[in-house]
Amino acid sequence: MNEQIQPATVRVFIALAPPDDAKEELARALRPAYEAYPRLRWNRIEDWHITLAFLGELPVETAPLLRQPLAGLAATRRPLRLSLRGGGHFDERVLWSGIDGDLDGLHRLTAEVRSVVKGCGVVFEDRPLRPHLTLARSRRDDPSSVVNVASGLAGFSGREWEAERLHLVASNIGRGPGPIHYRDIEAWRFSGEQ
Ligand code: 2AM
């Protein structure tokens, strides 16, 4: 018998992602920190993203319902101009890069995305957006590494880039001991004028 048991839920979020060259610029600036703080749980560069809406665990049959409305939204919006700038931390545990550029546009897009999701009948925790890109998490016995790296990032100012796609992403967090991985369920190019 080869049958695999499929999970009944999928952990989902909606995000933007910087292009590779903007990520590489920040990764270069972080190189000394990667070496100095190997015990931090660094996110993989290919997973870096800016979360617009975290939907949590959804029944597997619900995620597909989001596709058409999110595709429709992306088709009416133009790409946002953003940059990675500075750094900070949440509660001395989560290290992040700050986001600069069209933050009004980012807040507007976030509100629209969340409104589309609610329109699909999906209930989620509608927390205020704090624009950031998470880079690493510390271990429980380590209160200082994240704070140190964050202060070292204060002078970082990356180049401007365009967020070209809206990503509907599945996460494997909480599904076993392996590393965190994110996988696009689908991504839609921003191809509108607004
Ligand atoms: P973060 O970037 O600040 O860690 C997948 O977990 C993504 O959803 C992460 O980018 C995470 O934010 C974001 N997220 C937002 N709210 C969350 C929550 N309550 N639990 C887990 N992840 C959350």
State residue 2's pLDDT score.
Answer: 53
Q: Which of 10, 54, 134 to mutate to test the pocket of ligand 1 (most atoms within 8 A of CB)?
A: 54
Rounded-to-integer distance, Cα 124 and Cα 185, Å: 18
Q: Which ligand 1 atom lies nearest to the CA of residue 51?
A: 10
Identify whether 194 is part of a domain.
Answer: no
For residue 3, tell me if it sits in a domain: no
Measured in Å, residue 5 CA sits from the centre of ligand 1 at 26
Q: What is the pLDDT of residue 4?
A: 67
- Is there a domain that residue 155 lies in? yes
Of 16, 36, 19, 31, the residue nearest 156 (C-alpha): 31
Classify residue 39: in a domain, yes or no.
yes
51 pocket-lining for ligand 1 (C-beta < 6 Å): yes
Q: 70-73: which pairs have CB atoms within 8 A and are 24 or more residues apart? A: 70/14, 70/113, 70/116, 70/166, 70/168, 70/186, 70/188, 71/186, 71/188, 72/116, 73/112, 73/113, 73/116, 73/166
How far does residue 31's CA lie from ligand 1's centre (Å)? 24
pLDDT along the chain (194 residues), means of 10: 72 97 98 97 96 96 96 98 98 98 98 98 96 96 96 97 98 74 95 88
**Domain that residue 56 falls in:** 9-189
Angle, in degrees to the nearest 10, between helices 20-36 and 145-152 = 130
**Residue 101: CATH number of its domain:** 3.90.1140.10
Structural domain count of the chain: 1
Kindly report the protein residue whose alpha carbon is nearest to atom 22 of ligand 1.
54
74 within some domain: yes
Of 149, 150, 139, 122, the C-alpha closest to 13 is 122
Kindly state if the Cβ of 171 falls inside 6 Å of ligand 1.
yes
User: 4 in a domain, yes or no?
Assistant: no
133: in domain: yes
CA–CA separation, 18 vs 81, rounded Å? 10
